[in-house]
């Protein structure tokens, strides 16, 4: 294809893009460097980007190959114009959908460092999408700031976005700022134009009131969301949570299953509702149906490899199968799952306590004093383990010394004692030939020994032994017993990346 044909092909693409007819993306990988400045201005537009996003991403039901193709297209736009902020934003969205979160975060921030945007609306969405990513990383304070910036830009161009307020309210819920969250979600309801959009807002209100413990109001809001959009999977998940918390396990299972079924109909595997599988598994767990619970947790992990709560709950299943069914290898598997949960979310205290409890079951006193965790960095081992090792080593050396000395006392009897030095002054009286009496003094130092009592030494040795084996005694006192833990549940939001 010669240069003239390339230009004609691109002009035809632009024409079809603006007319929104047919698949106008066939030529987007053309060498855009060969275009004239006027043609570049036409094709390097947010309208073209949005059309590509719609054709390559939204209409392709999250097919990975389409995302990878979209990645190439947006990178091609950036190669032509390094200041094309909107292209960076769309590339960040592709990375987010591919679960390449660190790359997405880097690209979003790079886009926002560009001062001149062709489309302020997309700039607002970029702040929102960065906030959504930070929310997923549990950086709720940072997410709130990005959502607020998105709202500020949208209001400056008179485009109030219900989504922005809705997701701001969700982040504020996580920070337990319920009054601010309620105000934000109410604004989302005010700015929602479509009935289906209001369903998402009512879902958020249901989550809010559930967190506040106002279950009747929460259920009312969720039922409103269901009436407005009967196929909204997240609503059924959250209604199921209410049922679960109220002990209505059969109703909870039915609603979680509906959430899973409606989610599958959306055909979007990249954003499947892993929370519904997690919560469905929880109901099976409390009913003692560990095989069914295990399947649901494993499916949740298959959907989201970074779902720490699913790893933790699956670890709980393994513990129960080991404790109650005596299945071999389940204990070791549980340890690995708890460790996986902690790698993903180091702040997961439940996983940490569960892992420590499991390790207490198998360590003896020597392990407690001298073993170290492979999951910790050298610095962490130094801080948390070295002090214990030093104390343990000192106690053992002291015990060895006391026992050796005690054996020597028994063998050699009173020959070993505590030296006692006394100075004795002896006066020698002598008489010389002349009859004069001469008095002389001489100092004599003598050493005596007194036997060392052995019983205090034996008592001290016994005390040291008790201190050393105390972890083992503690384990024996606790026994295997009933493993105490809680399963993690998770509600489902309805935010999205623009």
Write down the pLDDT at residue 106: 95
CB burial readout 45-62, b (16+ within 10 A) else e: bbbbbbbbbebbbeeeeb
Report which of 185, 164, 181 is spatially closest to residue 172, judged by C-alpha positions: 181
SS (H, E, C) the chain: CCHHHHHHHHHHHHHHHHHCCCCCCCCCCCCHHHCCHHHHHHHCCHHHHHHHHHHHCHHHCCCHHHHHHHHHHHHHHHHHCCCCHHHHHHHHHHHHHCCCHHHHHHHHHHHHHCCCCCCHHHHHHHHHHHHHHHHHCCCHHHHHHHHHHHHHHHHHCCCCCHHHHHHHHHHHHHCCCHHHHHHHHHHHHHHCCCHHHHHHHHHHHHHHHHHCCCHHHHHHHHHHHHHHCCCCHHHHHHHHHHHHHCCCHHHHHHHHHHHHHHHHHHCCHHHCCHHHHHHHHHHHHHCCCHHHHHHHHHHHHHHCCCCHHHHHHHHHHHHHHHHHHCCCCHHHHHHHHHHHHHHHCCCCHHHHHHHHHHHHHHCCHHHHHHCCCCCCCHHHHHHHCHHHHHHHHHHHHHHHHHHHHHHHHHHHHHHCEEEEEEEEEEEEEEECCCCCEEEEEEEEEEEEEEECCCHHHHHHHHHHHHHHHHHHHHHHHHCCCCCCCCCCCCCCCCCCCC
Q: How many CB atoms lie within 10 A of CB 220?
A: 14
- Mean pLDDT score, 284-307: 91
Which range of 3-12, 16-25, 93-102, 418-427 scores highest in mean pLDDT? It is 93-102
Residues 6+ apart with CB under 8 A from 135: 143, 167, 170, 171, 174, 495
| Token digits of residue 43 | 């094709």
Write down the pLDDT at residue 401: 82
- Mean pLDDT score, 395-401: 82
| Token digits of residue 130 | 């960065």
Where residue 147 falls among pLDDT bands split at 50, 70, 90? very high
Report which of 339, 379, 378 is spatially closest to residue 359, judged by C-alpha positions: 339
Residue 446 pairs in a beta bridge with 422
Where residue 393 falls among pLDDT bands split at 50, 70, 90? confident
Rounded to 5 degrees, what angle do the CA atoms 313, 314, 316 make? 65
Write down the pLDDT at residue 434: 45
- Mean pLDDT score, 150-164: 87
Please give the share of the chain, as a percent, with pLDDT higher than 70.
66
- Mean pLDDT score, 292-318: 92
Quickly tell me which residue has 């309620």 as its tokens. Answer: 182
Residue 426 pairs in a beta bridge with 442
- Mean pLDDT score, 200-214: 92
Where residue 3 falls among pLDDT bands split at 50, 70, 90? very low
From CA 274, how far away is CA 296, in angstroms rounded? 9
Which range of 94-108, 139-153, 311-325, 351-365 scores highest in mean pLDDT? It is 139-153
pLDDT exceeds 60 at position 485: no
- Mean pLDDT score, 249-276: 83
Residues 6+ apart with CB under 8 A from 315: 333, 334, 335, 337, 338, 341, 351, 354
Q: Tell me the CA end-to-end span of the chain in Å, nearest whole number.
A: 36
- The four Cα atoms 27, 33, 39, 43 give a dihedral, to 10 degrees, of 50
Which range of 288-292, 326-330, 362-366 scores highest in mean pLDDT? It is 288-292
Please give the share of the chain, as a percent, with pLDDT higher than 90.
34
| pLDDT: which is higher, 394 or 204 | 204
Kindly tell me the burial class for residue 442, based on how many C-beta atoms sit within 10 Å of its own C-beta (0-12, 13-18, 19 or more): exposed
| pLDDT: which is higher, 352 or 447 | 352
- Mean pLDDT score, 413-434: 47
Write down the pLDDT at residue 465: 80
- Mean pLDDT score, 243-262: 93
CB burial readout 222-243, b (16+ within 10 A) else e: bebbbebbeebbbbbbbbbbbb
Where residue 463 falls among pLDDT bands split at 50, 70, 90? confident
pLDDT exceeds 80 at position 38: no
Write down the pLDDT at residue 220: 96
Write down the pLDDT at residue 448: 53
Which range of 81-90, 416-425, 428-437, 458-467 scores highest in mean pLDDT? It is 81-90
Write down the pLDDT at residue 110: 94
Write down the pLDDT at residue 473: 54
């Amino acid at each position: 294809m010669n240069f003239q044909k390339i230009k004609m092909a691109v002009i035809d693409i632009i024409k079809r893009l603006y007319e929104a007819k047919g698949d106008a993306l066939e030529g987007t990988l053309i060498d855009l460097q060969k275009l004239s400045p006027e043609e570049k201005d036409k094709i390097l537009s947010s309208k073209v980007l949005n059309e590509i996003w719609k054709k390559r991403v939204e209409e392709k039901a999250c097919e990975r190959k389409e995302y990878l193709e979209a990645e190439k297209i947006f990178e091609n736009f950036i190669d032509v114009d390094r200041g094309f902020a909107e292209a960076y934003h769309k590339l960040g969205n592709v990375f987010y959908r591919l679960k390449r979160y660190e790359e997405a975060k880097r690209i979003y921030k790079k886009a926002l460092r560009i001062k001149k945007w062709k489309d302020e609306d997309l700039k607002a969405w970029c702040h929102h999408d960065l906030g959504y990513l930070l929310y997923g990383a549990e950086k709720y304070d940072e997410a709130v700031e990005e959502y607020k910036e998105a709202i500020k830009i949208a209001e400056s161009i008179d485009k109030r976005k219900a989504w922005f307020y809705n997701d701001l309210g969700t982040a504020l819920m996580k920070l337990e700022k319920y009054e601010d969250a309620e105000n934000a979600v109410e604004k989302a309801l005010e700015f929602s134009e479509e009935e289906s959009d209001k369903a998402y807002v009512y879902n958020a209100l249901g989550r809010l009131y559930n967190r506040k413990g106002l279950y009747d109001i929460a259920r009312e809001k969720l039922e409103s969301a269901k009436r407005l959009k009967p196929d909204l999977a997240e609503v059924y998940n959250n209604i199921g949570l209410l049922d679960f918390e109220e002990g209505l396990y059969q109703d909870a299972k039915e609603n979680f299953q509906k959430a899973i079924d409606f989610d599958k109909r959306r055909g979007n595997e990249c954003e499947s509702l892993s929370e519904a599988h997690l919560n469905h598994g929880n109901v099976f767990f409390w009913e003692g149906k560990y095989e069914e619970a295990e399947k649901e947790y494993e499916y949740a992990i298959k959907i989201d490899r970074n779902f720490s709560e699913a790893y933790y709950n699956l670890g709980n299943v393994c513990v129960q199968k080991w404790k109650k069914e005596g299945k071999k290898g389940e204990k070791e598997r549980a340890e690995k799952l708890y460790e996986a949960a902690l790698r993903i979310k180091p702040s997961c205290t439940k996983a940490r306590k569960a892992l420590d409890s499991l390790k207490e079951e198998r360590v003896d006193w020597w392990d407690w004093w001298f073993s170290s965790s492979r999951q910790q960095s050298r610095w962490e081992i130094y801080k948390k383990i070295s002090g214990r090792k030093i104390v343990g080593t000192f106690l053992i050396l002291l015990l060895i010394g006391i026992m050796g000395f005690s054996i020597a006392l028994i063998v050699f009897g009173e020959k070993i004692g505590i030296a006692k030095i006394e100075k004795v002054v002896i006066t020698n009286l002598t008489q010389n030939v002349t009859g004069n009496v001469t008095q002389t003094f001489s100092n004599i130092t003598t050493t005596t020994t007194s036997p060392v009592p052995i019983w205090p030494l034996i008592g001290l040795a016994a005390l040291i032994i008790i201190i050393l084996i105390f972890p083992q005694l503690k384990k024996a006192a606790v026994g295997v017993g009933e493993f105490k833990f809680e399963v993690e549940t998770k509600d489902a939001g309805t935010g999205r990346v623009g």
